[in-house]
């Protein structure tokens, strides 16, 4: 019966400890900087246009083929306000397919795509899976508001 | 209180109706409270906090559960035995509720206190509920339910015996089956002090009788996914839950009356009735908490271990308890002898059980496998492949 | 003793699964029972087949890492390690030492997390009312929080890369790991108090599902299942890969090969993993985490290779065939659970229904890995 008494003692002891529950919807724990929620497009505030040139490198590298990108000539380049010759025309990401592997961020040559590391990237439930297909406005709204920026690992190591 | 209320009307059937109403309402409210309490207690043990969302501190959780269960569809398997299936829930919880009738919560507070055969009545009605489990198991036409029902029958009948015998030792001390007299006899020292072995046996047998861990084989969630109740849904399933928790309340209250001195100890029975009721409630809830604590700690036993534990450990020990009690009563020995011998027997039994808990009547595995092979061979012989 | 039946009884076929609390995922076992006695077991698998091997043939070596996460979703780091090691060996890439140490650190932490999952689920199988489960989840959650900080994900890390690891350790990681190890040991302590010597637990697991060492070898069991049967075989020590030769650890062994030993193996391995992680933290060298010259798109030479690692569940093997190009020609995953599962019938016949649940639980099945 020693084991039985020991087990009762263990449960009694844990009952006296502080509960570990976090009341989730009320309390959002701070997310680490590296949090990898869904990918977002970044906005170049200097020139007021997206970083993305629509080169489709991410689309080719995506393991689950959740992205669709098209490209067009950049009108701002003719005006002389921007150095980008090409600019993204349309950009869709199907968040229902995305497996958040970070490969699109790694392959991007223009640092135009980043993983959303805020809670807005995690709480993404929807009633219809078609609601999870994000177009360019939705993809860029967070970075236009300045909530998401590209981060580099704090030790400065190479991401490529 | 209720006794006075009933007499005030002076009409027999109004009296009975009021008493029944009291039973049903008290039990339902108490059961709701208990489901909440169990969640909170088990949550604390598991370092969680339990329900918090519904109402202040989650107090309305049982109400939400009840509403959800009421709203659910009442499903029945297509091949089920309709009448037995539908009657099973009632056959399960009504007898359990009946046990509440005779329990005294104070000198004269209770639904029907002062029944000369009170102890006998509780024992008798509490074992009828098993029939409901068997009915549910057989009628559901599900193999899980069938196995659960069969397990329930075997377990409950086996554990009924140590349960009855352990309270019998108490009745021997008092010399009465009237629960009030048993309580009043404990106004100085509760019976648990005189009979620690009996108290332990009662707790163990109760745990099995209520099908709570570590004896929850009939409903074992990880094997039989709920046993006899597996096919029930909605309100019928909630009846089983109601019955289970009602059983917990009644056996705890009964245990506090038999072993912890009910309302009498430690205030010697001449306190005002609210104090007495409070005492009974506190003792009952203490026992309930112990049951919940046990339930959150232990894994469950296997069926053969369960049965051998009842027949080879518990029942001989109850005989020991009865024998000591009889000896002390007959020769008018000082009661302290009973405590010492009973406690000694408890420690001894614990040491023996520690070493041999896994030794049951089960044959070694080689023999079991040989049995299976022989039967398969015999079957192949009698029914050759056509 | 053979009971002479006057009436012929029929065995009851009980369908356990694919949705059953004891089958850990979508495993299905058709049990034939005579009363409580299990007469026959017919395991049915394949409910979670996702074609991971075939999918890998269409993914390049970086994309394929994601598949490894999802194959064994409880020991992602270990499976990833096997995959990247296979690709590295075929390509002749030497990962920098810091990357190797980080990999081993992650793999051992992941072993702790995986074993905690087992302990919790096993307690649940045996029948504790969620207590074991929540003790285990409590500690596993801490490991996952740490990995979230390191890799950004809680489950599907995809953190290892061919040639190294994706990112270096974040600031203050060592300190956090040290705190975590204290918690892990506390969790192990709780388990030892709650279950290890508990008579009820002993009664349920002692001498149940016994496999001798020879039988275990015959069935191709690996990992804790094999070591519980007393066979001293651990790839980390006997066929060392990565930096394991520089680490000191003991391989726990069981005596009886019963379910209790299998449970105890996991408890002891968590303790060993804690020691390994401590050593990793001490010996972690500075330096780069990727080789200097890594091609943007990795193309492997023609050839084939088999690499195996010691996963929490046993020997996880990657057989990689390359015909040039950036994608594998064929990728075969040798999953330990699949092989361990083959001994189920041998263990279950002649035991009781409740024992069958205990035995299935002790296999520590991850159906994603069995079906792949």
Quote the ipTM score. Answer: 0.84
Question: In the prediction, which pLDDT does A159 show?
Answer: 39
Question: Which among A1, A153, A155 has CB closest to C199?
Answer: A1
Same domain? B241 vs B301: yes
Beta strands A133-134 and A86-94, pairing class = antiparallel
Please give the residue of chain C at the shortest CA–CA distance from B38. C129
B304/C352 CB distance under 8 A:
yes
Q: How far is C172 from chain B (nearest CA, A)?
A: 27
Tell me the average pLDDT across A31-54.
Answer: 84
B45/A15 CB distance under 8 A:
yes
Three-class SS of residue A100? coil
Higher pLDDT pick, C334 / B338: C334
The answer to whether C274 contacts chain B (CB < 8 Å) is no
Same domain? B178 vs B62: no
- Pairwise CA distance, residues B259 & C184, whole Å: 42
Cβ(C160)–Cβ(C84) below 8 Å: yes
Last residue of a domain, one of B44, B71, B98: B71
Question: Which among B42, B223, B354 has CB closest to C129?
Answer: B42
A34/C152 CB distance under 8 A:
yes
Among B111, B104, B236, smallest CA distance to B180 is for: B104
Sorted by where each begins, the domain ranges of chain C are: 12-371
Interface mutation vs chain A, best among C144, C166, C171, C202, most A CBs within 10 Å? C166
Residues from chain A contacting residue B353 (CB–CB below 8 Å): 1
Least confident of A111-115, B267-271, C68-72, C258-262: B267-271
Helix B118-126 with B234-259: angle, nearest 10 deg:
150
Tokens 């918090």 sit on residue: B52
pLDDT beyond 80 at B337: no
Same domain? B151 vs B286: yes
Q: How far is B43 from chain A (nearest CA, A)?
A: 8
Same domain? B288 vs B144: yes
Please give the residue of chain B at the shortest CA–CA distance from C4. B375
CB interface of C with B, residues 192-211, below 8 Å: 194-195, 198-204, 206-207, 210
Q: How far is B170 from chain A (nearest CA, A)?
A: 25
User: What is the pLDDT confidence band of residue B169, given thresholds at 50, 70 and 90?
Assistant: confident
Quickly name the fold that domain C12-371 has: Cytochrome-c3 Hydrogenase; chain B (1.10.645)
Roughly how many angstroms between the first and final C-alpha of chain B, as a whole number? 76
- Pairwise CA distance, residues B143 & C14, whole Å: 7
Question: In the prediction, which pLDDT does C36 show?
Answer: 82
C167/A117 CB distance under 8 A:
no
Question: Which among A4, A34, A117 has CB closest to C151?
Answer: A34
Question: Which among C3, C131, C199 has CB closest to B46?
Answer: C131
Q: What is the DSSP string of B103-135?
A: --SBTTBSSSTT-TTHHHHHHHHHTTHHHHHHH
The answer to whether C119 contacts chain B (CB < 8 Å) is no
Residues from chain C contacting residue B368 (CB–CB below 8 Å): 37, 350-351
- Adjacency order of strands within the sheet including A67-73: A67-73, A86-94, A133-134
Angle, vertex CA C372, rays to CA C269 and CA C334, nearest 5: 60
- B270, two tokens: 């001449």
Q: Subunits touching A (CB < 8 Å, at least 3 pairs)?
A: B, C
Question: Which among C14, C126, C350 has CB closest to B368?
Answer: C350
Q: How far is C53 from chain A (nearest CA, A)?
A: 14
Under 8 Å CB pairs connecting chains B and C tally to 123
Three-class SS of residue C355? helix
Q: How many domains does chain B have?
A: 2
Residues from chain B contacting residue A12 (CB–CB below 8 Å): 45, 293
- Pairwise CA distance, residues A20 & B145, whole Å: 37
Tell me the average pLDDT across C88-104.
Answer: 89
Three-class SS of residue A40? strand
C170/A33 CB distance under 8 A:
yes
pTM, two decimal places: 0.88
C351/B222 CB distance under 8 A:
no
Residues from chain C contacting residue A61 (CB–CB below 8 Å): 62-63
- Pairwise CA distance, residues A40 & C341, whole Å: 43
Residues from chain C contacting residue B370 (CB–CB below 8 Å): 2
C354/B303 CB distance under 8 A:
yes
pLDDT beyond 50 at B31: yes
Among C8, C60, C15, smallest CA distance to C33 is for: C15
Tens-digit pLDDT profile for residues B175-211: 888 888 888 888 777 887 788 888 888 888 888 888 8
Same domain? B47 vs B169: no
Tell me the average pLDDT across C160-166.
Answer: 86
Q: How far is B73 from chain C (nearest CA, A)?
A: 21
User: What is the pLDDT confidence band of residue C319, given thresholds at 50, 70 and 90?
Assistant: very high
Last residue of a domain, one of B71, B90, B122: B71
Question: In the prediction, which pLDDT does C2 show?
Answer: 61
- Pairwise CA distance, residues B262 & B208, whole Å: 23
Q: How far is CA A86 from CA A49, A124, C124, in A?
A: 11, 31, 58
A2/B294 CB distance under 8 A:
no
Please give the residue of chain A at the shortest CA–CA distance from B354. A1
Same domain? B34 vs B114: no
Please give the residue of chain B at the shortest CA–CA distance from C35. B147
Looking at every residue in chain A, the average pLDDT score rounds to 83
Tokens 């001798």 sit on residue: C212
A21/B49 CB distance under 8 A:
yes
**What are the beta bridge partners of residue A115?**
A39
C290/A1 CB distance under 8 A:
no
Q: How far is A28 from chain B (nearest CA, A)?
A: 17
C152/A160 CB distance under 8 A:
no
User: What is the pLDDT confidence band of residue C306, given thresholds at 50, 70 and 90?
Assistant: very high
Q: How far is A68 from chain B (nearest CA, A)?
A: 42
Share of chain C above pLDDT 90, in %: 6
Assess if residue B45 is contained within a domain.
yes
C131/B375 CB distance under 8 A:
no
Assess if residue B379 is contained within a domain.
no
Q: What is the DSSP string of B220-253?
A: -TTTTTTGGGTT--HHHHHHHHHHHHHHHHHHHH
Please give the residue of chain A at the shortest CA–CA distance from C68. A101
A4/B298 CB distance under 8 A:
yes
Same domain? B63 vs B117: no
Residues from chain A contacting residue C65 (CB–CB below 8 Å): 101
Tell me the average pLDDT across C111-124.
Answer: 90
Tokens 């094997």 sit on residue: B223
Under 8 Å CB pairs connecting chains A and C tally to 91
Q: How far is B76 from chain A (nearest CA, A)?
A: 31
Share of chain B above pLDDT 90, in %: 0
User: What is the pLDDT confidence band of residue B225, given thresholds at 50, 70 and 90?
Assistant: confident
What residue spans of A65-110 are helical by DSSP H? Answer: 75-79, 103-107
- C148, two tokens: 């979230």
Q: Phi and psi at residue C237, in whole multiples of 5°? A: -105, -40
Interface mutation vs chain A, best among B58, B201, B297, B309, most A CBs within 10 Å? B297
**What are the beta bridge partners of residue A50?**
A43
Domain A35-150 of CATH type 3.40.50.300: no
Interface mutation vs chain B, best among A7, A19, A22, A26, most B CBs within 10 Å? A19
Give the domain range for residue B44. 1-71
Q: Subunits touching B (CB < 8 Å, at least 3 pairs)?
A: A, C
- Pairwise CA distance, residues A79 & B229, whole Å: 76
The answer to whether B350 contacts chain A (CB < 8 Å) is yes
The DSSP letter of residue C211 is: -
- Pairwise CA distance, residues B109 & A44, whole Å: 80
Question: In the prediction, which pLDDT does A65 show?
Answer: 86
Same domain? B8 vs B154: no
Please give the residue of chain B at the shortest CA–CA distance from A3. B354
Q: Subunits touching C (CB < 8 Å, at least 3 pairs)?
A: A, B
Please give the residue of chain B at the shortest CA–CA distance from A12. B45
Tell me the average pLDDT across B309-328.
Answer: 85
HSE-up (13 A, CA, CB side) for residue B145: 20
Share of chain A above pLDDT 70, in %: 94
Question: In the prediction, which pLDDT does A157 show?
Answer: 43
Q: How far is B294 from chain A (nearest CA, A)?
A: 7
Please give the residue of chain B at the shortest CA–CA distance from A15. B45
Cβ(A80)–Cβ(A126) below 8 Å: no
Q: How far is C168 from chain A (nearest CA, A)?
A: 7
Assess if residue B308 is contained within a domain.
yes
Assess if residue B86 is contained within a domain.
yes
CB interface of B with A, residues 179-238, below 8 Å: none
Looking at every residue in chain C, the average pLDDT score rounds to 87
Tens-digit pLDDT profile for residues A101-148: 888 888 888 888 888 888 888 888 889 888 888 888 888 888 888 777
Tell me the average pLDDT across C199-220.
Answer: 86
């Amino acid at each position: 019966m020693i084991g039985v008494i020991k087990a009762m003692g263990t449960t009694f002891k844990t009952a006296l400890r502080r509960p570990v529950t976090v009341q989730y919807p009320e309390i959002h724990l701070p997310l680490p900087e590296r949090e990898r929620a869904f990918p977002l497009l970044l906005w170049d505030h200097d020139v007021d246009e997206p970083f993305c040139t629509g080169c489709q490198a991410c689309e080719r590298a995506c393991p689950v083929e959740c992205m669709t990108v098209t490209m067009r000539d950049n009108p701002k380049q003719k005006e002389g306000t921007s150095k980008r010759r090409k600019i993204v025309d349309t950009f869709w990401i199907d968040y229902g397919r995305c497996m958040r592997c970070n490969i699109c961020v790694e392959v991007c040559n223009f640092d135009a795509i980043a993983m959303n590391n805020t809670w807005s990237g995690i709480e993404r439930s929807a009633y219809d899976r078609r609601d999870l297909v994000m177009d360019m406005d939705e993809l860029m709204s967070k970075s236009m508001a300045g909530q998401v920026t590209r981060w580099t690992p704090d030790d400065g190591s190479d991401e490529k | 209180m209720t006794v006075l209320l009933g007499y005030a009307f002076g009409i027999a059937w109004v009296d009975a109706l009021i008493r029944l109403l009291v039973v049903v309402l008290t039990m339902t409210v108490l059961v709701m409270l208990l489901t909440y309490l169990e969640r909170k207690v088990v949550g604390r043990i598991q370092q969680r906090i339990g329900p918090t969302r519904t109402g202040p501190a989650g107090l309305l959780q049982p109400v939400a559960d009840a509403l959800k269960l009421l709203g659910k569809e009442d499903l029945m398997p297509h091949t089920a035995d309709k009448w037995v299936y539908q009657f099973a829930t009632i056959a399960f919880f009504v007898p359990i509720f009946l046990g509440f009738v005779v329990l005294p919560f104070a000198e004269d507070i209770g639904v029907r206190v002062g029944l000369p055969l009170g102890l006998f009545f509780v024992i008798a009605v509490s074992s009828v509920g098993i029939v409901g489990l068997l009915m549910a198991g057989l009628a559901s036409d599900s193999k899980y339910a069938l196995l659960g029902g069969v397990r329930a029958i075997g377990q409950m009948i086996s554990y009924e015996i140590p349960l009855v015998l352990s309270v019998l030792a108490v009745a021997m001390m008092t010399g009465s089956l009237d629960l009030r007299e048993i309580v009043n006899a404990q106004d100085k020292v509760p019976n648990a002090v005189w009979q620690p072995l009996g108290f332990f046996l009662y707790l163990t047998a109760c745990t099995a009788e209520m099908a709570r861990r570590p004896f929850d084989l009939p409903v074992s969630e990880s094997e039989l996914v709920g046993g006899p109740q597996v096919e029930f849904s909605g309100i019928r399933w909630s009846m089983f839950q109601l019955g289970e928790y009602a059983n917990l309340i009644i056996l705890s209250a009964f245990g506090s009356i038999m072993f912890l001195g009910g309302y009498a100890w430690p205030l010697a029975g001449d306190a005002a009735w609210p104090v007495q009721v409070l005492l009974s409630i506190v003792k009952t809830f203490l026992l309930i908490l112990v049951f919940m604590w046990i339930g959150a700690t232990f894994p469950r036993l296997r069926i053969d271990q369960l049965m051998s534990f009842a027949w080879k450990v518990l029942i001989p020990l109850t005989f020991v308890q009865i024998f000591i009690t009889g000896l002390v009563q007959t020769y008018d020995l000082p009661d302290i002898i009973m405590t010492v011998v009973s406690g000694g027997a408890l420690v001894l039994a614990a040491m023996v059980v520690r070493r041999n808990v896994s030794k049951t009547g089960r044959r070694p595995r080689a023999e079991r496998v040989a049995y299976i092979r022989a039967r398969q061979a015999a079957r192949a012989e009698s029914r050759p492949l056509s | 003793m053979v009971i002479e039946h006057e009436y012929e009884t029929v065995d009851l076929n009980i369908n356990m699964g694919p949705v059953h609390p004891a089958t850990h995922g979508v495993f299905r076992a058709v049990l034939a029972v005579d009363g409580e006695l299990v007469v026959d077991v017919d395991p049915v698998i394949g409910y979670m087949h996702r074609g991971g091997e075939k999918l890998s043939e269409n993914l390049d070596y970086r994309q394929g890492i994601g598949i490894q996460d999802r194959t064994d979703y409880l020991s992602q780091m270990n499976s990833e390690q096997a995959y990247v090691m296979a690709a590295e060996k075929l390509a002749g890439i030497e990962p920098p030492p810091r990357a190797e140490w980080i990999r081993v650190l992650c793999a051992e932490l992941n072993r702790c997390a995986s074993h905690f999952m087992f302990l919790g689920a096993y307690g649940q199988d045996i029948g504790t009312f969620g207590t074991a489960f929540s003790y285990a989840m409590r500690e596993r959650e801490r490991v996952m929080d740490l990995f979230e900080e390191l890799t950004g994900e809680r489950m599907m890390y995809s953190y290892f890369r061919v040639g190294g690891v994706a990112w270096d350790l974040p600031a203050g990681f060592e300190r956090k790991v040290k705190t975590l190890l204290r918690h892990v040991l506390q969790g192990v302590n709780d388990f030892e108090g709650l279950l290890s010597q508990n008579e009820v637990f002993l009664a349920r697991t002692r001498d149940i599902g016994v496999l001798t060492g020879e039988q275990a070898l015959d069935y191709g069991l690996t990992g804790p299942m094999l070591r519980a049967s007393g066979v001293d075989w651990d790839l980390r020590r006997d066929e060392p890969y990565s930096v394991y030769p520089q680490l000191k650890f003991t391989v726990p062994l069981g005596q009886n090969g019963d379910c209790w030993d299998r449970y105890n193996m996991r408890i002891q391995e968590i303790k060993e993993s804690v020691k390994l992680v401590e050593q990793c933290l001490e010996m972690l060298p500075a330096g780069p985490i990727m080789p200097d010259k890594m091609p943007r798109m990795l193309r492997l030479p023609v050839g084939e290779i088999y690499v195996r690692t010691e996963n929490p569940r046993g020997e996880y093997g990657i057989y990689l065939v390359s015909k040039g190009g950036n994608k594998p020609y064929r990728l075969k995953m040798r999953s330990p659970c699949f092989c361990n599962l083959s001994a189920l019938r041998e263990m279950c016949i002649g035991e009781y229904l409740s024992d069958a649940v205990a035995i299935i639980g002790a296999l520590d099945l991850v159906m994603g890995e069995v079906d792949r």
